[in-house]
Amino acid sequence: MRQGIPGGGAMDRRACRVANLLVGNDERAAVLEAALIGPSIEFHATTLIAVAGGDLEASIDGTRLPVWHAALVPAGATLRLGAATTGCRAYVAFAGGIDVPCVFESRSTYLRAAFGGVDGRAIRAGDVVGLGEPSSMSRHIAASLARENGAVGIAHWSAGATLRPAYSVEPTVRLLDGTHTSLLSEPSRQRLFTERFRISASSDRMGYRLEGTPLSLERPIELLSEAVAFGTMQLPPGGAPIVLMADRQTTGGYPRIGEVASVDLPLIAQLKPGDFVRFEPISLDDAQALYLAQEAELAQARAGLEWRFSRGTT
Amino acid sequence: MHLAPLGDHAVLVTLGDSIGEATHRRVQAAVARIDHARIRGVVDLVPAFASVAVHYDPRAVEGDGGSPYARLRDRLRRELSDLTNEELPPARVVEIPVCYGDELGPDLDEVATMHEMSAADVIRLHSDALYLVYMVGFMPGFAYLGGLPELIATPRRSSPRSAVPAGTVGIGGSQTGVYPLVSPGGWNLIGRTPRKMFDIGRDEATLLATGDRVRFRPITRAEFDDWRE
C-alpha cells in the first residue's frame, strides 16, 4: 500500500478462507469471487471444490450443492451458479487453488489498473483456467468423496456453525470510533447508532455508499490526505457515509467517523444494493478480542479437518 | 507525536498538522525507524503528508497482557521516541520528460490566459521548479507533489473529464502531478509524459516514491513519439 496499490482481495475474507479450508487448500489459495450472479464452469478433470459465502444455488449437473460444503466434481460435469438467494458473494475454491500469477505478493485481480488474476480482468465466457497441485489433505478429502458410479460426491460435514453465518438483509454491524467521530454533531452521532441505512446502487468493491438521513460534523474541517483501512467509514460533504472495502484507495481526505470491526466486515460484504444496515458501537479491546477468538476458531477448524483427513482414513 | 487506532488492524501515527518539508522529514524518519525495527506483526506502512499508518495483524503482535493495539502502540512510541536527529538518505531526483500543450495538453492555453501569461511562461514556471513527493496514494503510482509555483496554481475544472489518458500532467488548485492510469479527472491538463508512472513489468513498479525530488523537462512531440524506456 506504500506505493498506492490497494489491499484488494476477497470482500468476505472469512467465507473465502472457509472455502479454501473445506477443500484442504492453504488459506491464501486463489478462489473465484462471484457477486450476485455466478458462472457456469465445465470441469475437464475430476476436481474437489467448495462454495462458501452467499448462496448462489450451486448445482453440479442438476444435483444441488449446498453452500459451505465440499464436493467432488466428476470430469466433464458442469458447476452452475445462479442468482444470490442469501448474501451477495459466493467463493468457489478449487483444490490446488486457481493458477494465476502472484503480483505484489497477491493472486488477486485489480481491475482498475488491470493486473493480477486472468490478464488483469474479470473472468469471461470461454476462459480456460488451470489449477495448482492439490495438497495431500485435498487428495484425502477427494478420496473420501469418490463415488463408484462417477456421481457427484457431496460432503456431509462442514465448518462449525459460527464460521458459516446466516447473512441478514439488515444486519447490525459493530463500529469502532473513527479518528473524527468526536467531531460529529450530537444529532448525527445519535442517528448513526439508531437509524438504518440503505445500501446504494452505486456501491462496489471500492466502497459501499449508505443512504439515509444525512450526517454532519459539528463544524467543517479541512483534512490532509492520509491512510484509510478496510472498513473505514468516511463522511463526504453530501452527508452520506461510505464504508471503504477491498479495492479502496490507500489514502483519503474525507473525515473518518467510524471503523467497522474486522469480524463484521463479512456482514457488509454480503449486502447488496437495496439491503439495509444498522450500527452499534464497540470498543477496540472488544473488537480485537472477537478477532482473536475467530482466528482461534478458524485454526481449530483447520486442525480438526487435518486430523480427520491427513491420515488417509475417512 | 500522537498515536491512535485506525480500526482494529492499524495504528495511525500523527507527526504534524500541515504540508511542509519539516513535517515531511519527520514522516520519512518515522518510516525509516519502523522499517528498521522490523516489528513482528507489522504488514504495511502508509506514509502521508503528516502521518504514517502502521497496518498490522493483531495475532502476530508480540507479548501478552493488554490488547495487541496497546502493545504495538507502546512499542512504536519507544521506537519513535527521539526523531529529532534522523539522518535520511539523500533524495533521488527523478526527471520526468513532458511534451507540453496541443493535443497532449489541451488546457495549457486556457491556464496561460487565466494567468495573463504566455503558454511558454507556464511551461517555464512548471518545469523550472523542483518538486517534492509528499506521498503516494489515491491510485497506484499517483504522487502528491509539493512545490507548484503559486503563479500557475489553477482551480480544478468545473466539469471533470471522464477519461484522462495515463501519463497526463495536470494542475489542480495548488497541486500538480501525473495521472498514472486512465482515470476520471478534474485537473487542467497541460502535457503528457511518455514515461510510465506505474508499470508492473518494471522492478520498481511505481516510478516515484515518497521523498523523491521531481523535475519536469520539456520535450518535443518528436521526442515524445520516439521515446523508449
Query: Which residue, among A244, A59, A266, has the nearest Cα to A168 in the 3D structure?
Result: A266
Q: What's the pLDDT tens digit per position in A197-210? A: 999 999 999 999 99
Task: Look at residue A64 in the predicted model and tell me its pLDDT.
Answer: 96
Query: pLDDT-based confidence at A267, cuts 50/70/90?
Result: very high
A-chain CB neighbours of B50 within 8 Å are 224, 226
* Contact between B200 and A103 using a beta-carbon 8 Å cutoff: yes
pLDDT score recorded for residue A40:
95
C-alpha cell, B211: 521523498
Average pLDDT over residues A178-204: 97
Q: Determine, for residues A230 and B9 on separate chains, whether the beta-carbon distance falls below 8 Å.
A: yes
Burial of B112 by CB count in 10 Å (0-12 exposed, 13-18 middle, 19+ buried)?
buried
Contacts of A169 (CB under 8 A, 6+ apart): A271, A275, A276
Burial of A32 from C-beta contacts in 10 A (0-12 / 13-18 / 19+): buried
A313: pLDDT strictly greater than 60: no
Least Cα distance to B169 among B107, B114, B211, B110 occurs for: B107
A-chain CB neighbours of B51 within 8 Å are 224, 226-227
Residue A224 host element (H or E): none
Torsion of CA A106, A108, A110, A116, to 10 degrees: 70
Please tell me if residue B106 touches chain A, with a CB cutoff of 8 Å: no
**Between A211 and B156, whose confidence is greater?**
A211
Helix pair B68-79, A284-309: axis angle to 10 deg: 110
CB–CB contact A229 B10 (8 Å):
yes
Distance CA A43, CA B103 (A): 50
Distances in Å between the alpha carbon of A291 and those of A17, A257, B8, B70?
14, 21, 9, 15
User: Alpha-carbon distance A250 to A292, whole Å?
Assistant: 25
Residue of B2, B6, B8 to mutate when probing chain A, most A C-beta within 10 A: B8
Going A225 to A226 to A229 to A232, the CA torsion angle's sign is negative
Per DSSP, the residues of A62-125 read TEE--TTEEEEEPTT-EEE--B-SEEEEEEEEETT-B----BTTB---BTTTTBSTBTTB---T
Which one of B50, B52, B139 has the shortest CB-CB distance to A249? B139
Q: What is the mean pLDDT of residues A295-305?
A: 95
Using a CB-CB distance cutoff of 8 angstroms, which residues of chain A are in contact with residue B138?
4, 225, 249-251
Residue A311: which pLDDT band, with cuts at 50, 70 and 90? low
DSSP code string of B146-160: E---GGG-BPPPSS-
Q: What percent of chain B has pLDDT over 70?
A: 98
* pLDDT at position A314 over 80: no
B140/A292 CB distance under 8 A: no
Beta bridge partners of B185: B161
Grid coordinates given for B177: 502531478
Nearest CA of chain A to the CA of B154: how many Å? 19
Band of pLDDT at residue A222, cut at 50, 70 and 90 = confident
Residue A101 has pLDDT above 90, yes or no: no
Min Cα separation A124/chain B (Å): 22
- What local confidence, expressed as pLDDT, does residue A301 receive? 95
Residue B86 has pLDDT above 70, yes or no: no
Cell of A3: 506505493
- In the predicted structure, residue B65 carries a pLDDT above the cut 90: no
Please list the residues that pair with B154 across neighbouring strands.
B173
Cα(B51)–Cα(B78) distance, integer angstroms: 17
Name the band, by pLDDT with cuts 50, 70 and 90, for residue A312.
low
pLDDT for A74 beyond 90: yes
In chain A, what residues touch B163 (CB-CB under 8 Å)?
none
Query: CA angle, A67 as apex, A92 and A268 as ends, to 5°?
Result: 80
For the segment B204-225, the average pLDDT, to the nearest whole number, is 95
How far apart CA A21 and CA B229 sit, in angstroms, is: 45
Nearest CA in chain B to A115: B200
Rounded Cα distance, B131 and B176, in Å: 9
How large is the average pLDDT for residues A164-173?
Answer: 94
CB contact under 8 A, B140 and A230: no
Q: Pick from A240, A170, A171: which is nearest to A203 by CA?
A: A240
Contacts of A112 in chain B (CB under 8 A): 139, 181
| A chain contacts of residue B7, beta-carbon cutoff 8 Å | 176, 229-232, 259-260, 262
Q: What is the ipTM of this complex?
A: 0.93
Mean pLDDT of chain B, nearest integer: 93
Domains, chain A, ordered by start? 13-164 (no CATH), 172-282 (2.40.100.10)
- pLDDT, tens digit (0-9, with 9 covering 90-100), for B89-116: 778 999 999 999 999 999 999 999 999 9
Q: What average pLDDT score do residues A299-303 get?
A: 95
Which position has the grid cell 489541451? B106
Chain B residue numbers with beta carbons less than 8 Å from the beta carbon of A259 are 5-8
CB B13 within 8 A of CB B52: yes
The answer, yes or no, to whether residue B155 has pLDDT greater than 60, is yes
- Asked whether residue B174 carries a pLDDT value surpassing 60, the answer given is yes
pLDDT-based confidence at B85, cuts 50/70/90?
A: low
pLDDT given for residue B78 in this prediction: 94
Alpha helices in chain A (DSSP H): 13-22, 136-145, 186-194, 265-269, 284-309
Given a contact cutoff of 8 angstroms between Cβ atoms, the answer to whether A211 and A242 are in contact is no
Tally of CA atoms within 13 A in the half-sphere of A35 that contains its CB:
13
- The mean pLDDT value of chain A amounts to 93
Question: Which chain A residue is nearest to residue B71, measuring alpha carbons?
Answer: A285
Q: Match 488548485 to its residue by C-alpha cell.
A: B173
Mutate to test the interface with B, among A2, A27, A108, A181 (most CBs of B within 10 A): A2
Q: Chains A, B: CB contacts under 8 A, how many?
A: 128
pLDDT of the residue at A116 = 86
